[in-house]
Amino acid sequence: MSAPASTVEDAIQAALATVNDPEIRRPITELDMVRSAVIGPDGVVRVELLLTVAGCPLRDKLRADITAAVGAVPGVTGVEIEFGVMSPEQRQSLQAKLRGGTAAAEPVIPFAQPGSRTRVYAVASGKGGVGKSSVTVNLAAALAARGLSVGVVDADIYGHSVPRMLGADGRPTRVEDMIMPPQAHGVKVISIGMFTAGNAAVVWRGPMLHRALQQFLADVYWGELDVLLLDLPPGTGDVAISLSQLLPNSEILVVTTPQAAAAEVAERAGAIALQTHQRVVGVIENMSWLELPDGSRMEIFGSGGGQSVAESLTRTIGAQVPLLGQIPLDTRVREAGDAGNPIVLADPESPAAAALRTVADRLAIRRESLLGKPLGLKPAGR
């Protein structure tokens, strides 16, 4: 005996509502992508689906998910899907919907809104090459592996290496003037490198950098993020200042090596927080030592840099700045980064991965303990 028609149709709608758009990660029904879904007398359901863009690379995934969900409804004998494309008006209304119903003329940065629950960490270093990007991608992957919703902005305009290190080499898709970020290892990533041709160098002045960063924060559809990490360029440049203006509640993570010369410049990068009234969440020492086959440690870059930056920032800023972790030198960190599979995932038992995970745990624990409460953080030093 077949079920009454209305019940089957309700069940089909309910099944469609379980299918998420793979990019936007919200149900296709909520996004008005399902134009029609009709069951014929033969039990075959014909679904007309509107894609956001014609060349949508995720068409096959949508087809498979819809077929599985609708095909499982009792009484359904088959599923046929016809793909169409949204009109400019439909895309505009989708964009307004994603922005929370406001077709804002001015770009709105969701993380800067009162009550935003997203923790924003800006990863800064004094010198280049200390492993800031490696630390950023590993923290992002470790936090995502804990089940948090994580985004990364590669704001290292001159040395953008985050997409490669995360293996996120897809191009962002556009819905009107909204940008859908590629994802890898559960992390949403956006980088200036995704908008430049090949390996072209970007020579931008302050106002252009500011605008690019604003666009990454406002025009990218991030969804509800638990954590947003920003990989800043080394030093105390324009991007750090712009970020503090765009996201005054962002917190700074300082990466240094144990070397005294690196530590001195790292202190300067951290001390910028005094002027920008940001909080410095802690210091991460990278390349701390190399473990030799006999188990002893060779301190290639000396020792004590991380601790000394933490102590000096604690004094300068007048608030506790802890040393969050020490990451050993390990060729596997580089190899994993080169392969687009961060070491916390590629070799989770290695000492470097364990040290990175411990730092990620400390960052995530702070957020979970605040879950459900407005953050209301007082900027350090005020």
Residues of the shown chain interacting with ligand ATP in the complex, contacts defined by CB under 6 A: 125, 128-134, 156, 159, 161, 234, 286-287, 327, 329-330, 333-334, 337, 352
Q: Which residue is nearest to ligand ATP (CB)?
A: 128
Q: How far apart are CA 65 and CA 94, in angstroms?
A: 21
If phi over 0 gives left and psi between -120 and 50 gives alpha, with beta otherwise, what is residue 305? Answer: alpha
Q: Which is nearer to ligand ATP, 36 or 331 (CB)?
A: 331
Q: Which is nearer to ligand ATP, 103 or 339 (CB)?
A: 339
What length does the chain have?
382
Q: Which is nearer to ligand ATP, 182 or 258 (CB)?
A: 258
Contact partners, residue 76, CB within 8 Å, separation at least 6: 8, 12, 39, 43, 44, 45, 70
Return the structure tokens found at 249: 């509640």
CB hemisphere CA count around 131 (13 angstroms): 26
Q: Which is nearer to ligand ATP, 15 or 333 (CB)?
A: 333
Q: Distances from the Cα of 153 to the Cαs of 55, 203, 216, 233, 274, in angstroms?
A: 25, 18, 7, 11, 23
Closest CA to 111 of 321, 366, 360, 375: 375
Q: Which is nearer to ligand ATP, 162 or 363 (CB)?
A: 162
- Helices and strands of the chain, counted as H and E runs: 12, 14
Closest CA to 363 of 217, 162, 228, 248: 228
Least separation in angstroms between residue 295's CB and ligand ATP is 18
Least separation in angstroms between residue 88's CB and ligand ATP is 39
* 325 labelled binding-site residue: no
Closest CA to 330 of 285, 294, 288: 288
Q: Distances from the Cα of 215 to the Cαs of 91, 120, 147, 228, in angstroms?
A: 19, 16, 27, 15
Q: Which is nearer to ligand ATP, 131 or 305 (CB)?
A: 131
* 126 labelled binding-site residue: yes
Q: Which is nearer to ligand ATP, 153 or 352 (CB)?
A: 352
Least separation in angstroms between residue 131's CB and ligand ATP is 3
Least separation in angstroms between residue 109's CB and ligand ATP is 24
Q: Which residues of 272-284 are buried (b: 16+ CB within 10 A; e: fewer)?
A: bbbebebbbbbbb
Q: How far apart are CA 246 and CA 242, in angstroms?
A: 6
Q: Would you tell me how many other CB atoms lie within 10 Å of the CB of residue 136?
A: 28
Least separation in angstroms between residue 350's CB and ligand ATP is 10
Least separation in angstroms between residue 84's CB and ligand ATP is 43
Phi and psi at 243, nearest 5°, equal: -60, -40
Least separation in angstroms between residue 281's CB and ligand ATP is 18
Q: Cα 314 to the chain's mean position, in Å? A: 28
Q: Which is nearer to ligand ATP, 133 or 183 (CB)?
A: 133
* 130 labelled binding-site residue: yes
Least separation in angstroms between residue 137's CB and ligand ATP is 8
* 133 labelled binding-site residue: yes
List binding-site positions for ATP: 126-133
List binding-site positions: 126-133
